[in-house]
Amino acid sequence: MTPDLIAQIILVTVQVYLIIGLTFAIPFVLFLAQQIDPAIQGSTWGFKLLALPGLSLLWPLMLSRLIRRTQKPIECNAHRLCALAENVHPTVNSEKS
């Protein structure tokens, strides 16, 4: 295999991936995204236009979420854990206010 042939194979693979991604992203952003994230309902055209490049690259992830019908993941970070702990065990400062 020559380097030219390897380069052509890589370029064709990337092109096919992006064509599939764009083909998926357009109907997804227009009609299907609300099923995964209800907050997208009524979003502007600007948002939808900005979402297209990312959806074109991440289409396998969004397709799997669409098939599984899962909502957006809940973050598990220090801020959320602290807020949850605050609701369960209020601190002394929050009782005074």
Domain spans of the chain?
3-96
CA distance 20 to 23: 5
Residue whose C-alpha is closest to residue 72's, from 38, 29, 28: 38
Tens place of pLDDT for every residue, the chain, 97 residues? 899 999 999 999 999 999 999 999 999 998 888 888 778 888 899 999 999 999 999 999 999 988 887 666 667 778 777 877 776 655 555 555 4
Q: Report the C-alpha gap between 6 and 20 in whole angstroms.
A: 21
0.75 exceeded by pTM: no
